[in-house]
């Protein structure tokens, strides 16, 4: 069918979409964010931590408490947790995506407008998906024009081109810098000379690491390892990423301390090595690192007395109290 004919027959629908988008955009102006009680805030924070550990089940009742109080972030991640635990968008997850979208959440709008979700086969996607997409794009462009780097990444997630991820990276958004380096490493983007691609990959991984993003720190450490970089610098960034809570880095750092792997040349500290491995092994959300930690624990324990194991568990508790929650740093618009 001719594209022009398609456009002509869709004009009334397009006008409705634009009107719908404008109404929503103006409704976002002055939107008040929910003020949570200390109990609701604590529940939200714990729920978000569990979500970032891929514990999509146990995170739900905690996020629900804040979502019901009107917290936009809790609403979005509750919807994500419900969708991921069911593997498609259900009526319940759609309800919370809509609640977040109505408060201006761009990623919720994009989820509601997704054409690839299994909810289309299940019949649970609901109406207005194209309306939400047009609203998301209009609002994201407006925010991006004001320097909002998350809006720039949302435009990239909406399929508006790699240049939006590049703009977010250039704007100093560390998660976008790590993601951009990963895309370049996979062959995305255009470079006149091969050496320039490699230089760009290194530049953005390093920028993300120096920007304080733990996943970026670990990605930069991996880049150094794969390219015969400085062992000292590699060890520094793995440790920093572990201290920032990235689960993969905690596992790698723990293995180095327990002398399971001598690649990073850490001074042997079997108490800390066991303690951090124990900490990762207790995660219930799944993933390779917790399973590997559970297999590694008895191997480390072979060199330890029962008293040392108890001391290591105390170390684990102290680490947990003095460091950010363990996290996979799942992208906002992830799985």
CATH number, domain with residue 44: 1.25.40.10
d(CA 333, CA 141): 17
216, 129: one domain: no
Helix then strand count (H, E) for the chain reads 19, 0
Which of 121, 146, 171 terminates a domain? The answer is 146
In the three-class reduction of DSSP (H, G, I as helix; E, B as strand; rest coil), residue 198 is classed as helix
The pTM for the full model equals 0.87
| One domain for residues 106 and 13 | yes
The answer as to whether 84 is a domain residue is yes
Same domain, 103 and 21: yes
* 38 shares its domain with 139: yes
pLDDT tens for the 335 residues of the chain, in order? 333 223 223 334 433 444 444 444 444 544 445 799 999 999 999 999 999 999 999 999 999 999 999 999 999 999 999 999 999 899 999 999 999 999 999 999 999 998 666 665 666 666 556 689 999 999 999 999 999 999 999 999 999 999 999 999 999 999 999 999 999 999 999 999 879 999 999 999 999 999 999 999 999 999 999 999 999 999 999 999 999 999 999 999 999 999 866 778 999 999 999 999 999 999 998 888 999 999 999 999 999 999 999 999 999 999 999 999 999 999 999 88
Q: 47 in a domain, yes or no?
A: yes
Do residue 50 and residue 131 come from a single domain?
yes
Is 251 part of any domain? Answer: yes
Q: Please tell me the distance from the alpha carbon of residue 69 to that of residue 10, in angstroms, as a whole number.
A: 39
Task: Tell whether 217 and 139 lie within a shared domain.
Answer: no
DSSP string for 97-138: HHHHHTTT-HHHHHHHT-SSSTHHHHT-S-S-HHHHHHHHHH
Helix (H, G, I), strand (E, B) or coil at 78: helix
Q: Do the domain assignments include residue 237? A: yes
**Considering 92, 124, 146, which residue would you say is the last residue of a domain?**
146
Same domain as 141, residue 66 = yes
CA–CA distance, 273 with 267 (Å, rounded to integer)? 11
pLDDT of residue 13: 41
Is 151 a member of any domain? Answer: no
**pLDDT score, position 194:** 79
Count of structural domains, the chain:
2
Helices 214-226 and 194-210, packing angle to 10 deg: 140
For residue 158, is it within any domain? no
The answer to the question of residue 163 being in a domain is: no
> Which residues form the domain of 53?
3-146
Same structural domain, 141 and 29: yes
User: What confidence score (pLDDT) does residue 125 get?
Assistant: 64
- Examine the domain organization and report whether 246 and 129 are in the same domain: no
Last residue of a domain, one of 146, 170, 197: 146
């Amino acid at each position: 069918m001719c594209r022009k004919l398609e456009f002509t027959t869709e004009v009334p629908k397009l006008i409705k979409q634009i009107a719908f988008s404008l109404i929503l955009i103006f409704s976002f102006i002055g939107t008040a964010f929910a003020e949570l009680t200390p109990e609701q805030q604590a529940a939200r924070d714990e729920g978000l931590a569990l979500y970032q550990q891929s514990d999509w089940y146990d995170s739900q009742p905690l996020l629900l408490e804040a979502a019901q109080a009107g917290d936009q972030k809790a609403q979005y991640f509750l919807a994500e947790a419900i969708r991921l635990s069911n593997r498609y968008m259900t009526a319940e997850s759609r309800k919370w995506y809509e609640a977040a979208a109505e408060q201006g959440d761009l990623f919720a709008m994009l989820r509601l407008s997704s054409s690839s979700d299994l909810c289309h086969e299940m019949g649970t996607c609901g109406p207005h998906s194209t309306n939400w997409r047009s609203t998301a794009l209009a609002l994201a462009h407006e925010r991006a024009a004001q320097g909002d780097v998350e809006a720039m990444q949302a435009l990239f997630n909406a399929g508006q081109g790699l240049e939006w991820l590049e703009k977010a990276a250039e704007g100093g958004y560390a998660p976008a810098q790590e993601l951009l380096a990963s895309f370049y490493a996979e062959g995305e983007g255009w470079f006149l000379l091969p050496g320039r691609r490699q230089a760009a990959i290194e530049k953005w991984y390093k920028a993300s690491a120096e920007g304080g993003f733990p996943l970026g720190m670990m990605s930069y450490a991996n880049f150094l390892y794969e390219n015969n970089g400085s062992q000292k610098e590699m060890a520094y960034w793995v440790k920093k990423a572990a201290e920032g809570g990235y689960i993969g880095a905690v596992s790698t750092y723990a293995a180095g301390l327990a002398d399971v792997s001598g690649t990073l040349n850490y001074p042997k500290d079997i108490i800390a090595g066991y303690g951090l491995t124990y900490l990762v092994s207790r995660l219930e959300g799944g993933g390779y690192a917790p399973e590997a930690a559970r297999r590694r624990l008895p191997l480390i324990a072979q060199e330890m007395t029962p008293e040392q194991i108890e001391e290591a568990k105390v170390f684990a508790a102290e680490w947990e109290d003095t460091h950010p929650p363990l996290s996979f740093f799942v992208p906002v618009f992830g799985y």
